[in-house]
């Protein structure tokens, strides 16, 4: 017989044995989710904005992080090859067919490869059953029927090298240089998606097809359709196309890679001839917050968002002053890469000589928050603003574009993040935001700003090179003791916007006018009467 004392029962309650399980967020009833026998996941959501159009996605839970040393850059190479011939669309037939159907490459047809995922995008008309059916065939071909003809592979090498050399812009070139600094010691530092020129030029055909065979498989893929579609008919089409794909036999494990902690302050100070601004980024990496699946996790995220709003309100106030060292400044907590989030400080300095002052201003304001926290009027204003924005989103829910709705389905597949729907989220905002106290928000920054796991990235135009601070100068700024700062004063005006109510005017005369407007086809048309009605003269 098991005997329980009152002390034992009390301890069970304290440790949560009998505590109620956290309430999980529901699934938006407007979303249809299914999983095929081979492991492929699908999502369908009807949305009529815009009418007679649908957003299609093939999401592959695999990116450059899964490459071997001999496959560096080949995840991105596979993405390119998907447009260069499949079983049902030889060579350039795929792009040609879609362009003839009104689908523009780049705007409606695209793909992207990142560290952890590859995403193929299609926006197609749904009032043409033939085009819609062919679009589904294209998704299937991308999923398991890419051709990889040797001649096409060799032709594409030059295209990718040219993209690597010229076509990516200052942002991408600089990112390729500072990512290895930020991500030092992790697999991410070795697997930049663009790869290396040497490997793109010389990689064997088998290495390319091996990556495709290993990672383009149904248990790592999702088909997403959002738009003006018949849900039942679309589900039937997905099953017809994707259920026949064989399940993987002895699949390679999909490893999740981590970014190790570090004690030193890392810095990358870089210039590029095409970089237009002087940008400072300071990263304090943190363990990733829990994926939002429960109401408590949703509330925790609201607390972080309130913090972001309030600190940025202060920095925006500074940026409006004529003596501000930066054009723009922000601080925010959010996702980073891999298993890390980051508390990130960003400033766009007026010029290279103002970079140190910009860093100092960012650090000072964050230290002020660390010492004193925010004040109640700031919290009240942030809560009001968040409620107002969510209310606007809820009221405009029927006007939301399909392209905007797709992203949360991608996040659900890749990260497991909940999708309760705008109506449920609006209710959560109304219920949870008023329960968040100032003390909760004020405690966050004390764990975020720390002397470890921090990195600084400065990117500037080439002409500013002589004005950029040295790494030792930056580290000294980060380690500088600030002493006791003055608390922030929130100057809230209670005065009316206008000192006196305006007196209503009256119409004294009316007359018809002639007007001109462009008719959208390059011609100027004359109109008469009310320009808003566009009553055109013959």
Q: Answer yes or no: is pLDDT of 45 > 80.
A: yes
Taking the C-alpha atoms of residue 267 and residue 281, their distance in angstroms, rounded to an integer, is 10
Convert the pLDDT of each residue in 236-271 to its tens digit: 999 999 999 999 999 999 999 999 999 999 999 999
Per-residue model confidence (pLDDT) at position 436: 98
Q: Answer yes or no: is pLDDT of 185 > 90.
A: yes
Average pLDDT along the chain: 90
Q: What are phi and psi of 55, to 5 degrees?
A: -95, 120
Cα 392 to Cα 225, 226, 355, 379, 387, distances in angstroms: 25, 22, 38, 20, 9
Convert the pLDDT of each residue in 485-510 to its tens digit: 999 999 876 667 677 778 888 888 88
Work out whether the CA dihedral 77, 83, 88, 93 comes out positive or negative. Answer: negative
Kindly report which listed range (74-78, 158-162, 533-537) carries the lowest average pLDDT score: 533-537
Q: Which domains does the chain have, with CATH numbers?
A: 31-242 (3.30.830.10), 266-479 (3.30.830.10)
Q: Residue 107 in 3-state DSSP?
A: coil
Torsion over CA of 95, 101, 106 and 112, rounded to 10 degrees?
-60
Listed as own residue / partner, the contacts of 396-405 with beta carbons closer than 8 Å and 24 or more positions apart are 397/422, 397/423, 398/49, 399/49, 400/47, 400/49, 401/49, 401/50, 402/47, 402/49, 402/50, 402/53, 402/54, 402/55, 402/226, 402/227, 402/228, 403/55, 403/123, 405/45, 405/47, 405/55, 405/226
Q: How confident is the model at residue 514 (pLDDT cuts 50, 70, 90)?
A: low
Crossing angle of helices 422-432/295-319, nearest 10°? 80
Convert the pLDDT of each residue in 404-429 to its tens digit: 999 999 999 999 999 999 999 999 99
Find out whether the peptide bond into 164 is cis, omega within 30 degrees of 0.
Answer: no
Judge contact between 376 and 494, C-beta under 8 A.
no
Q: How confident is the model at residue 7 (pLDDT cuts 50, 70, 90)?
A: very low
For residue 58, give every residue at least 6 positions away whose Cβ sits within 8 Å of its Cβ, in sequence order, or none.
119, 120, 139, 142, 143, 221, 222, 223, 224
Please tell me the pTM assigned to this model.
0.87
């Amino acid at each position: 017989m098991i005997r329980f004392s009152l002390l034992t029962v009390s301890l069970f309650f304290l440790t949560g044995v009998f505590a109620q399980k956290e309430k999980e967020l529901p699934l938006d009833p407007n979303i249809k989710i299914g999983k095929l026998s081979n492991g492929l996941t699908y999502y369908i959501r009807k949305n009529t904005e815009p009418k007679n159009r649908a957003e299609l996605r093939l999401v592959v839970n695999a990116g450059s992080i899964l490459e071997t040393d001999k496959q560096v850059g080949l995840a991105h190479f596979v993405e390119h090859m998907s447009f260069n011939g499949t079983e049902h669309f030889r060579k350039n037939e795929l792009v040609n067919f879609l362009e003839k159907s009104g689908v523009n490459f780049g705007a409606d047809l695209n793909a992207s490869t990142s560290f952890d995922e590859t995403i193929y995008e299609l926006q197609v008309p749904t009032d043409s059953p033939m085009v819609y059916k062919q679009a589904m065939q294209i998704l299937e071909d991308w999923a398991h029927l890419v051709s990889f003809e040797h001649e096409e592979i060799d032709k594409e090498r030059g295209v990718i090298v040219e993209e690597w050399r010229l076509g990516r812009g200052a942002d991408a070139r600089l990112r390729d240089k500072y990512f290895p600094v930020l991500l030092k010691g992790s697999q991410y530092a070795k697997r930049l998606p663009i790869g290396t020129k040497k490997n793109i030029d010389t990689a064997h055909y088998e290495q390319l097809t091996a990556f495709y065979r290993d990672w383009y498989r149904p248990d790592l893929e999702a088909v997403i359709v959002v738009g003006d579609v018949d849900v039942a008919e679309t589900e039937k089409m997905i099953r017809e196309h994707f259920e026949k794909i064989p399940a993987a036999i002895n699949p390679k494990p999909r490893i999740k890679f981590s970014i190790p902690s570090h004690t030193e302050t890392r810095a990358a100070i870089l210039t590029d001839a095409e970089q237009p601004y002087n940008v400072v980024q300071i990263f304090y990496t943190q363990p990733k917050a829990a994926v939002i699946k429960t109401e408590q996790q949703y509330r925790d995220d609201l607390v972080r968002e309130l913090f972001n709003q309030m600190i940025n309100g202060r920095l925006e106030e500074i940026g409006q002053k004529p003596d501000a060292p930066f054009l723009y400044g922000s601080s925010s907590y959010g996702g980073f890469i891999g298993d890390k989030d980051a508390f990130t400080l960003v400033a766009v300095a007026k010029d290279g000589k103002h970079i140190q002052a910009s860093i100092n201003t960012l650090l000072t304001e964050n230290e002020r928050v660390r010492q004193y926290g925010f004040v109640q009027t700031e919290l009240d204003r942030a809560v009001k603003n968040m409620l107002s924005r969510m209310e606007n989103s809820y009221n405009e829910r029927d006007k939301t574009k399909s392209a905007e709705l797709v992203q949360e389905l991608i996040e659900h597949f890749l990260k497991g993040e909940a999708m309760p729907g705008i109506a449920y989220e609006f209710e959560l905002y109304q219920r949870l935001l008023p329960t968040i106290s100032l003390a909760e928000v004020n405690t966050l920054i004390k764990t975020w700003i720390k002397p470890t796991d921090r990195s600084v990235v400065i990117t500037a135009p080439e002409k500013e090179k002589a004005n950029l601070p040295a790494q030792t100068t930056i580290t000294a700024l980060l380690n500088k003791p600030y002493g006791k700062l003055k608390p922030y004063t929130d100057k809230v005006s209670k005065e009316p916007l206008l000192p006196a109510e305006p007196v209503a005017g009256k119409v004294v005369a009316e007359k018809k006018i002639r007007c001109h407007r462009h008719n959208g086809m390059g011609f100027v048309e004359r109109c008469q009467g009310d320009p808003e009605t566009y009553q055109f003269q013959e």
